[in-house]
Each structure stands twice: as C-alpha cells, then as structure tokens.
Amino acid sequence: MNSTLTSKMTVQDALVDNGLLGKGTRSLLMAVAITYAISWINWFFTSWQSSRAVAAAKRAGPGQLKRPPTLPSAVPVVGHIFQFLLGGHAFMSRAAKHYGLGVPVRINLATFPSYIVSGRDCVAAFLKDQGRQLSRIPRGLNYMEHAFGCPHEFVHQFKPRDDVDIEHQMHTALQTMLAGNGLEVLAGRYQTEVAHAALSTSLVGKEHEWTELPDLCSFVEDHVLEAATRALYGPHLVALNPTLARDFWTFNRRVKSMFMGVPKWLNPSAVRARDKMTDNVKRWQLYAAEHCNIDEIPDDVEWEPFYGSRYTRVRQKLLTKRDIMNESARAAENLAFIWAYVTTFNSMSGVC
C-alpha cells in the first residue's frame, strides 16, 4: 500500500514539475471563463434587442406593424430549448409574464421560432385573424415533418395547390361526415364500439351494475381511442396493432415538444413514439391496399371494414389524386387526422 501511495505521489509530483497539472487547471478555468463570457454577452445582446423591440412597439401607431420581443437567452443558437425541456409549462408561463400578459413573446427552440400569445385581447385578435395577416401554411408543413413524421423530401406535396383544389374537397368531405347520414352512421358505430369494448373487459361487471376501476382515466382513454379508431378506420387498424392505445397516448404525451420544434437529437423519446405510431398506420395502409381495391367500393357505402368510414376512403383517394404515394407521407397525414380526431373524441368523453 505504501509503495502504491508513493507511486501516485511521484506521478503527481512529476506532473507538477513539468507544468502539466497546472496547464490542465488553467485550461479548465479558461474554458469556464470563455463559456461564462459568451453566455453573458449573448444575454446582454438579446436583452438589448428585446428592449428595442418593446420600445418600437410602444412608439408604433394604430395599424402599424409591431414585432414581438424575443425572450432574452444566455445560450447561443439553441436559445431556450433546455428551459423548455426541463419544464415546458412552467417556462412558457414565465415567458408570458416576462413583459406582462397581453404582450406576445418570441422564443427560440433551435428549429424554428415560436410565439407565446397571452391576454384576452391578444388571444381574441389572434383567433379572429382568420388568415388575413397570419399564414398557417409554413407552420403546418413543419408539423407534418416534425410532429407527424413526413419525410422532408415529400413535405412540399402538402402545400396548397391552385391547379387541384384538394383542400376544398377534403373540407367538403369533412362537413359531409359531420352532418346528416354520415354523422349518424359514424356516431352509431362509435357508440356500439364503446359499449362492446367496455362490457367485454373483465374489469367491468354485469350490465347496469356499478364497477370501481383502479384508473378510470386510462380506462376511458384506451376504450375511447379503440372505439373511435374502429368507427373511422375500421377494425383492422386496431387488430393489426395490439399496442395501438398505449402507443398513441405515449405519442400524445410527447407531441407537444415536436410541435414546438425541439430538434430530434434532443428529443429521442418523442421521435421513437412518433415513429412507432407511423409504423402502426403504415401496417394498416399496406394491409388495406392488399386486401381491398378502394376504387371498387361504391361511393354511397358509408362504412366497410377495410377503410372504415366513407370519409376515410375519400381522404385516401384525394391523397392519391395529389400524387402523395409515399407510404410514410401518407402515414403522416393519416396520423395527423387520427390525433386530431381521437383527442377531440377523448375531450368530449371527458366532459360527458
């Protein structure tokens, strides 16, 4: 033991004598000092820019353009991304209050800028804009790529096109689904599926009997998702993917960070959850295409087992008409609609 201790002391003495230990310490201190200086300079510069934006907004007259101030940050390039990842809700709440409620704030999450709109008047003005001054197209394309997994080289196919009015046709099809016979068929299917799923599980007792569940929210989430999916997409999407409910709610918990543009390398769990869901959807797409010729289904058929509702068939045909043939791009579009559809149904079920 004494020889080992002597050996260690000899090595340390040699490092000190040759100036290596001192150089290492100096390098570490230098790196810390440079990092601190860069952070301080970046904070000072972004604070100065932010103050100028606030002052310019105060000087602007009625109807003049006002640019939202950017929340100061200490870290160059990545901006506020670490604060968002450590506590997104708390960070956004602090950011909204930084200049006072009612002042829109720009935050930087590395991929693309995002804005926090707070205050009754600002939110009302934002909702009433209806696209006259704000364009939803660039952000929508970002969502298709980052949140729903459309390959980058196919994102441009979802841009509005003047020569083919696909958006209008999809909107018309959606209105048809949510009214008249289309809504009646969809609602009937959904109610039947919910009742069957709830009564077929061992957790629920006989009909008309009260049952205590260990986790009511999870029970409702899983059964609402499967029932809503079967009603709109037919039984095969659920049958081909036994873990669909768990996969979807895992994706739903993580999708917010992808909406905000957090880069993939800082968000691996969210990317895995998204890719699992797109794989589930692609599995259904390939199965349906292999076992059913969508063009042979009469237009007046409201529901059939391979594609589910007539609205789902219309969407698939419109994607083909738009030359969106890549399975991953189609899966991204289907996942986007499933997410919007199921979360809406789940919210309605929670309220009811």
One-character DSSP codes across 26-93: HHHHHHHHHHHHHHHHHHHHHHHHHHHHHHHHHH--TTS--PPPBPP-SSTTTTTHHHHHH-HHHHHH
**Residue-level pLDDT at 343:** 84
Residue with tokens 């609602």, as numbered in its chain: 187
More confident: 351 or 160 = 160
Is residue 345's pLDDT more than 80? no
What value does the mean pLDDT of the chain take? 81
Mean pLDDT of 322-350: 84
**Residue-level pLDDT at 14:** 52
Is residue 203's pLDDT more than 80? no
How many alpha carbons fall within 13 Å on the CB side of residue 322? 27
More confident: 14 or 255 = 255
More confident: 290 or 58 = 290
Q: Please say whether the beta carbons of 75 and 46 come within 8 A.
A: no
Which region among 89-93, 108-112, 125-129, 143-147 has the lowest average model confidence (pLDDT)? 125-129
| Among 325, 326, 301, CA closest to 314 | 301
Is residue 349's pLDDT more than 60? no
**Residue-level pLDDT at 240:** 97
Summarised one tens digit per residue, pLDDT across range 107-129 is 887 767 788 888 888 777 777 76
Is residue 55's pLDDT more than 80? yes
**Residue-level pLDDT at 8:** 45
DSSP assignment letter at 174: H
Segments making up each domain of the chain, as ranges: 12-134, 157-351
Cβ burial of 224 (10 Å; 0-12, 13-18, 19+) is buried
pTM of the model: 0.75
